[in-house]
Amino acid sequence: MKRHIFSTILILLLISVFLANVLDWFGGEDNLGEGVNISFETNGSKILEAGDEAPNFTLQTLSGETFELFENRDKPLLLNFWASWCPPCKAEMPHMQSVYAKYSDQVEIVAVNLTNQDNGVEAVKSFQEEYGLTFPIPLDQKGEVGRLYSILTIPTSYFINTDGTIYQKYIGPMNEETILSIVEEME
């Protein structure tokens, strides 16, 4: 009986510490909720918000090419961060591929694999083949781009305007309808 009480108290204490850290991380209870613009610093860099300039980066793609984010940008961009083991990422990838196949003349899709948090390049290749992905997949093998974009959870996507500014950040899996509605708002 004492062991059960002790275990319960320990679990409640751990949950309290976790919740206190989460609330502190997001700046307190007043900043939680839908549509909140969170503006704080992490690892010395500002969390990116709508209207901010999206940071440029260069990575090697899964196909071995060099990819630079802002090279030849002439249409809206969906910049997605993901990993092959992530169930919500698996759910959204067919929708992203469908949008890319049908509307690549209207929107560019780039899916940055957080390779440093994934199961290796071979897992990413298998994922690409299994899902028939044809959009660029840059490999963030050191986690630098994920940190640059302050990726805390995946999937996370940034919709970027043609002028290089962030239109919207979207956390969680998206379906085709969601992607297209955001892209239409950008135009």
Record the pTM: 0.75
More confident residue, 76 or 27: 76
Q: pLDDT (tens digit, 9 = 90+) per residue, 169-180?
A: 999 999 999 999
CA dist., res. 159 & res. 161, Å (int): 7
Query: Contact, 166 vs 56, CB < 8 A?
Result: no
**pLDDT tens column, 89-110:** 999 999 999 999 999 999 999 9
For the chain, what is the total number of helices (H) and then of strands (E)?
Answer: 5, 8
Question: Would you say residue 34 has pLDDT above 50?
Answer: no
Residues linked to residue 85 through DSSP beta bridges, in sequence order: none
**Residue 122: in which H helix or E strand, if any?**
helix 121-131
Question: Are the CB atoms for 167 and 161 separated by under 8 Å?
Answer: yes
Q: What is the mean pLDDT of residues 45-57?
A: 86
E-strand stretches of 14-150:
41-42, 45-46, 58-60, 66-68, 77-82, 108-113
